[in-house]
C-alpha cells in the first residue's frame, strides 16, 4: 500500500529542506509526499511529487496555467471558492485536487459538485492541520465542514486525499496520527488507507491517459 501525505511545503516556502521532509516522512510511515513548488525526485526511498497551487485565479487563467503545468507532470491543486466557481473548475481537464474547502461555506460543495467530482475523478484535499492547530469554535467549524464532505463522499465516492500542509518536519504527522484525526470526521481505517493511496491512483490514471494519447 502506497501512503502519501498529499501536501507539504519545503524550503523556501517552509523552513525544512525537501530532503529532510522526505526522510522524516519515511520514518512516519509514508512512501511519498506531494511537495508544493518542488521537483519530482526521490530521497531515501521516498517519492517526491511536485504540486502546483493555483490560488485566487479566474477560471480562464486556470485553464491556461493547467495546460502549462501538465507538460512537467505536476499535480494541480485549485483553491475552492463558491459553488459556481467550483463547478467550473471541476470541468477543466488537468485539475487533480481541490483544496481549502474548510474555508468555504456549506453551499460551496453540495451534492451537484460532489457528483461532478466523482464523475471526473477530481480529489478533495482534507487538510488536517486545522484540526491540530485550531481550538474551540474554529476547530469545530472545520470538523463540521469535513463531516459534511464525508457524508457526500459516502453517497458519491469521489476521491479524498489527506494532508498536513506541513511547513516544517515538526509539523509532519505519522500514518497513525492521520488515522486518529480522520476518525473525528467519520473515517474508519479502510477510508484512511484508501485516501492515503489516492495520490498514487491519480498519478497512475494520469500516466495511462498520456499513453493513450
Confidence (pLDDT) at 112: 96
Confidence (pLDDT) at 182: 98
Q: Helix 83-90 crosses helix 111-120 at what angle (to 10 degrees)?
A: 10
Instruction: Residue 100: name the closest of 128, 75, 79 by CA.
Output: 79
Q: What tens digit of pLDDT does each residue of 29-67 get?
A: 999 999 999 989 999 889 999 999 998 778 888 888 887
Confidence (pLDDT) at 152: 97
The b/e string for 78-108 (b: 16+ C-beta within 10 A; e otherwise) is: bbbbebebbeebbebebbbbbbbbbebeeeb
Model pTM?
Answer: 0.93
Q: What tens digit of pLDDT does each residue of 150-171 get?
A: 999 999 999 999 999 999 999 9
Q: What tens digit of pLDDT does each residue of 92-113 get?
A: 989 999 999 999 988 999 999 9
Enumerate the domain spans of the chain: 4-212
3-state class of 57 per DSSP? coil
| Pairing outcome for strands 32-36 and 41-43 | unpaired
Instruction: Find the distance separating the first CA and the last CA of the chain, reported in whole Å.
Output: 28
Confidence (pLDDT) at 1: 62
Confidence (pLDDT) at 66: 84
Domain spanning 4-212: CATH superfamily: Metal-dependent hydrolases (3.20.20.140)
Rounded to whole angstroms, the Cα distance separating 150 from 168 reads: 28
Amino acid at each position: 500500500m502506497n501512503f502519501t501525505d498529499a501536501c507539504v511545503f519545503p524550503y523556501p516556502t517552509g523552513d525544512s529542506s525537501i530532503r529532510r521532509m522526505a526522510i522524516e516522512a519515511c520514518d512516519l510511515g509514508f512512501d511519498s509526499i506531494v511537495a508544493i513548488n518542488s521537483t519530482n525526485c526521490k530521497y531515501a526511498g521516498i517519492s517526491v511529487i511536485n504540486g502546483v497551487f493555483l490560488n485566487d485565479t479566474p477560471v480562464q487563467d486556470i485553464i491556461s496555467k493547467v495546460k502549462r503545468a501538465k507538460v512537467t507532470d505536476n499535480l494541480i491543486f485549485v483553491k475552492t471558492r463558491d459553488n459556481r466557481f467550483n463547478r467550473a473548475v471541476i470541468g477543466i481537464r488537468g485539475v487533480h485536487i481541490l483544496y481549502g474547502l474548510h474555508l468555504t461555506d456549506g453551499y460551496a460543495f453540495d451534492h451537484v459538485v460532489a457528483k461532478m467530482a466523482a464523475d471526473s475523478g477530481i480529489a478533495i484535499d482534507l487538510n488536517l492541520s486545522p484540526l491540530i492547530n485550531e481550538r474551540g469554535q474554529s476547530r469545530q467549524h472545520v470538523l463540521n465542514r469535513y463531516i459534511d464532505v464525508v457524508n457526500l463522499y459516502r453517497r458519491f465516492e469521489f476521491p479524498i486525499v489527506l494532508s498536513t500542509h506541513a511547513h516544517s518536519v515538526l509539523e509532519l504527522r505519522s500514518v497513525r496520527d492521520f488515522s486518529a484525526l480522520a476518525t473525528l470526521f467519520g473515517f474508519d481505517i479502510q477510508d484512511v488507507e484508501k485516501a492515503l493511496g489516492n495520490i498514487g491512483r491519480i498519478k497512475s490514471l494520469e500516466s495511462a491517459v498520456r499513453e493513450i494519447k
